[in-house]
Amino acid sequence: MLRPSFFASLCLSLCLPFGTETALADVNDANEMDTLDIVQVEAPALNEVVLANGQPQTTLSGDNLKKKIADSLGSTLEQEAGMNNASFGPGVGQPIVRGQGGPRVQVLQDSLSILDASQFSGDHANAIEPVLAERIEVLRGPATLLYGGTAIGGAVNIIDNRVPMKMPDKPITGTLASRYITMSNETSNVLKLDAGKDKLALHLDGFYRRNANQTIPGYAIDQSAYQQTTGNLPDVNTYGYVGNTSGNAIGGTAGVSYIDDWGYAGLSYNNRNDYYGIPPRGGAGDPQVNIFQTMSRYTWKNEINTPFELAKKLSLRIAYNDYTHVELDANQLNTTFTNQGFDSRLEMEHQPLGPFTGTWGLQTQNNRFNVLSAPGTLPAGAPVISPYSNIQNYALFGIEKFDTGPVSYEAGLRVEGTSINAQNNPIRTYIPFSASASALWQVNDEHHVRLAASRSQRAPQIQELYFNGYHDASGSVELGSSNLNMETSYNLDLGYQFKSDWAKADITLFQDWFNNYIYRYNTGVYANTNVYPYNQPCDPNDPTCAAAPVYQYNQQNATFMGFEANLTLPVVKSQYGNVDLDLFSDFTRGRFVAGGNVPRMPPLRYGAQLGYSKDEYNMNLRLTRANAQNLAGEYDTATPGYLLLNFNAQYKVANVGGFEFMVFAKGNNLLNQTIRNSVSFLRVWAPQPGLGGELGVQISY
């Protein structure tokens, strides 16, 4: 483990040159150098990595995004450095950043919260459709303070054109795409249209997909791990596929904007519906659990250029969401989660003040979260799993940047006021304070060093405080803790980037120290879900009681450390095409200060990718080795290592009668390995997809 003293010494040695002339003696005169604001590395393993002063920000866009598009946000991003997919069957995939997920990773739709319930439980899918994204950004460092102090792991921002911000290049443009995936017999179709005339711009989009059960190379349930936790073998265990993983999704958006020299103003309406199954748990009498999820979203965006002398830009964004998540037990209504809420943010980007540029703003959120249980689904005297709650959050935030020759600095702060008013409970108020600072040193045109430090706080969330009951979709009893305190983290990042004609490299070391880290852990106890309170032990092998594992929210001090590394070597550059070799690796280790492992941590990953490109052709072969994750949480099971071999190819024909055609193909898990995902709650019951392929076509105008 990297000790704090080691990091302190290393950071001090790096900071000292920032203020000395001798350290810059071999560097060109600052006046002759181009100030480094953004450096982009076109490395497939890290995709587009932008140095936003002190921190790398991963960006997926264009053809690079098309290569990675998948059904869920987590599976779209899982190949990125430091990122994993918290799958809950193929219908759900939440992003994990450096081992952090849930409330510690803010998922945003065009800089506003998506206001679904994915952060409350692992079975709730993100109400995001990656295939409709224009760009996906993964933010770390000071910039995350613009979007929430809880974004300790990072913020994932999905940028789309729902509310047009500029006039289209042509009176009408459009994209039609269709794909077929063999692993789940999935068909997917998407249509996007943008039109403009005079000062009005219009956007329309829609998608539909449908899939059957997910195929796998062996048994769905890991019989050894199942026996380790329950003491017996599963009664039912499918072979070659994961049962009850079929589903479908449909959605669409309409948006319009008025665009002029002074800026723009516009609004959009989006609706989506998802239906997906939860993989079975192996019991002969276990009911089939399915999810129906629906969301309507209204968005307003307004941006004014130079509204007054100090302001370079003033923007207002408002979103209202109406979200419902219905859990069906054997096609009968069981539990309904609802979340209605507003998110609004007012931002001002000020004119340069000497060397300073920056953005300041206000953000407000108001959510009404409720859970309803169908009659007869709860034991006598039991309350619903969570009380009706009104959650309010107000925040002031700011971020400032300034350059001093070869060194660029950035600092940010955020002060919040959070109120949780849960029915039949006292009102709880919190005042989290977060701050961050970073520096980027351009040693010369090839070498760049970055350093970032932050202090973040977040208030406990409703599920962490008040969940109390059996959750059908997760198949567990979940118990909150009403005496949780605010969580505080101290974070340090150190990075180095090299870029030349013969190689590109990027490496980041990080360490996080948490006070009162909030986590959900397996108690090792099984409770009888037919009797309330849920504190009566139940043998999982006893058919006379309805046994379910008990998960408890708790907090204690914890540390996380790890690295992300990438090396790109141009092997061949010729008239016959270019061949690049990428070597990559990432690792996160989480443990409690008092002893023990933080549950659901990703394993060490490393691998290589060989890429070829020429004109309209682009393809790559990627091999990833993941080590076994034997440092599982208490009462959690270890996951074995695996080799993952994927293939990706694209062929593009441009300007055929004004149209652009692209055909793409993928080969997934070509070694047909059984892959158990260590960050997934369902790693014992549902492995990742087996050998399969994907074929698609896209037509753009």
pLDDT at 9 over 80: no
Strand stretches in 10-124, DSSP E: 40-43, 47-52, 55-61, 83-87, 93-97, 105-109, 112-113
37 band by pLDDT with thresholds 50, 70 and 90: very low
Determine the structural domain holding residue 542 and report its residue range. Answer: 4-700
pLDDT at 17: 36
pLDDT at 149 over 80: no
Interval 171-208: pLDDT, tens: 999 999 999 999 999 999 999 999 999 999 999 999 99
Q: The tokens 């999905």 sit on which residue?
A: 158
Q: Quote the pTM value.
A: 0.90
Q: Do 490 and 512 contact (CB within 8 A), yes or no? A: yes
pLDDT at 159: 94
Under 8 Å CB-to-CB from 612, ≥6 apart: which residues? 577, 578, 579, 618, 619, 620
Instruction: Give the DSSP per-residue string, 297-321.
Output: EEEEEEEEES-SSSEEEEEEEEEEE
3-state secondary structure (DSSP) of residue 696:
strand
Burial of 467-478, coded b for 16+ CB within 10 Å and e otherwise, reads bbbbbbbbbbbb
pLDDT at 419 over 90: yes
Q: Do 57 and 137 contact (CB within 8 A), yes or no? A: yes
User: Residue 84's closest CA among 97, 73, 72?
Assistant: 97
For the residues 650-669, what does the mean pLDDT come to?
92
**CA-CA-CA-CA dihedral for 87, 90, 91, 95, to nearest 10:** 30
Q: The tokens 């979340």 sit on which residue?
A: 339
Q: Are strands 577-592 and 83-87 parallel, antiparallel or unpaired?
A: unpaired
56 band by pLDDT with thresholds 50, 70 and 90: low
For the residues 382-396, what does the mean pLDDT come to?
96
Out of 31-35, 520-524, 564-568, least confident range: 31-35
pLDDT at 40 over 80: no
User: Residue 471's closest CA among 235, 117, 128?
Assistant: 117
How many domains are contained in the chain?
1
pLDDT at 405: 86
Between CA 22 and CA 131, with CA 41 as vertex, the angle to 5 degrees is: 150
Q: Phi and psi for 41 in degrees, rounded to 5?
A: -110, 120
Q: Do 153 and 100 contact (CB within 8 A), yes or no? A: yes
Interval 151-164: pLDDT, tens: 888 899 999 999 99
Interval 598-634: pLDDT, tens: 999 999 999 999 999 999 999 999 999 999 999 999 9
Between CA 131 and CA 137, with CA 132 as vertex, the angle to 5 degrees is: 85
Q: What is the residue-averaged pLDDT of the chain?
A: 90
pLDDT at 55: 58
Percentage of the chain exceeding pLDDT 90 = 81
Cβ burial, residue 93 (10 Å; 0-12/13-18/19+): buried
CATH of the domain at 570: 2.40.170.20
For the residues 340-369, what does the mean pLDDT come to?
96
Interval 359-370: pLDDT, tens: 999 999 999 999
Tokens of 199: 């000062």
Tokens of 475: 């198949």
pLDDT at 546: 87
Which 8-state DSSP code applies to residue 22? Answer: G
58 band by pLDDT with thresholds 50, 70 and 90: confident
Interval 546-561: pLDDT, tens: 899 999 999 999 999 9
pLDDT at 120: 86
pLDDT at 119: 87
38 band by pLDDT with thresholds 50, 70 and 90: very low
Q: Do 191 and 222 contact (CB within 8 A), yes or no? A: no
Q: Do 514 and 557 contact (CB within 8 A), yes or no? A: yes
pLDDT at 657 over 90: no
Q: Phi and psi for 573 in degrees, rounded to 5?
A: -135, 110
> Distance (Å, rounded) from C-alpha 477 to C-alpha 467?
9
For the residues 479-495, what does the mean pLDDT come to?
96
Q: Do 259 and 164 contact (CB within 8 A), yes or no? A: yes
